Amino acid sequence: MERKRGYFITFEGADGCGKTTQAELLEKWLSKKGYKTLMTLEPGATDLGKNLRQILLHYEKPVSDEAEMFMYLADRAQHTQMVIKPALEDNKIVLCDRYTDSTVAYQGYGRGTDIEQINTLNEIATKGLKSDLTLLFDVESEVAQSRLGKTKDRLESQGMEFHKKVREGYIDIARKNPSRVKIVNANATIEEVFSNVKEIVGELLNI
């Protein structure tokens, strides 16, 4: 039977894991092969989301854990309905830099919000849309942090303990969702990491 929609691939991992570089390389590779692609991100792909991103990453006064979580979810709801679903219906391969797993890893494992509640809220925000494949770029927290520039945003400037919890959270997510989430060793050269990415995506697309 012919597939009725495109593919949804998400990129996950700690700040500094190199996922954005890999998403860009993959988009070029797929476009060259003639696939229609859409590269997008969370938070901040829509007009509404851009405003939320500014607050989420740069607001200087204290933000409650719940307010933070709901802003990520609001961004996701808008993004999924306005951008991701239409692109999938247009048979595009959507490459999304962060999605539902980021909220589970950062707000759940990192901040300590109940994971089951986050799963339910993610379900509401996305109306149940899940990725076909999630690439998790895994690297030691110290290495990831050392790759970041000197001016860190609100989330990046959380302590090492927070970042280690996020990393462990991601590994747990991969362990619980082995058919959807594939771990990529991000402690390697850009070329080596990309060769692994091509192998995994090639298997999904049968190329």
Query: How far, in Å, CA of 31 to CA of 103, rounded?
Result: 29
Q: Is 102 in the site for ligand TMP (CB under 6 A)?
A: yes
Q: Which of 8, 72, 109, 170 binds ligand TMP (CB under 6 A)?
A: 72
201 Cβ neighbours under 8 A, 6+ residues apart:
9, 26, 30, 133, 135
Largest separation between any pair of C-alpha atoms in the chain: 53
Q: Which of 30, 40, 42, 52 binds ligand TMP (CB under 6 A)?
A: 42
CB of 56 to ligand TMP, least distance (A): 6
Smaller CB separation from ligand TMP, 180 or 205 = 180
The DSSP code for 109 is I
What is the identity of the amino acid at 83? V
Q: Is 155 in the site for ligand TMP (CB under 6 A)?
A: yes
Sheet holding 37-41, edge to edge: 37-41, 93-97, 7-13, 133-138, 181-185
Instruction: Decide if 147 contacts 187 (C-beta within 8 A).
Output: no
Q: Is 98 in the site for ligand TMP (CB under 6 A)?
A: yes
Q: Is 15 in the site for ligand TMP (CB under 6 A)?
A: yes
Question: Looking up tokens 């990520």, which residue turns up?
Answer: 72
Smaller CB separation from ligand TMP, 21 or 187 = 21
Piece in contact with ligand TMP (CB under 6 A), picked from 30-38, 97-105, 127-135, 194-202: 97-105
Q: Give the count of beta carbons closer than 10 Å to the beta carbon of residue 65.
A: 12
Q: Is 156 in the site for ligand TMP (CB under 6 A)?
A: yes
Element at 37 (helix H, strand E): strand 37-41
Q: Is 10 in the site for ligand TMP (CB under 6 A)?
A: no
Piece in contact with ligand TMP (CB under 6 A), picked from 30-38, 99-107, 125-133, 181-189: 99-107
CB of 15 to ligand TMP, least distance (A): 5
Piece in contact with ligand TMP (CB under 6 A), picked from 21-29, 96-104, 131-139, 175-183: 96-104
Question: Looking up tokens 């797993």, which residue turns up?
Answer: 101
Note the residues at the interface with ligand TMP (CB under 6 A). 15, 42-43, 72, 98, 102-103, 106-107, 155-156
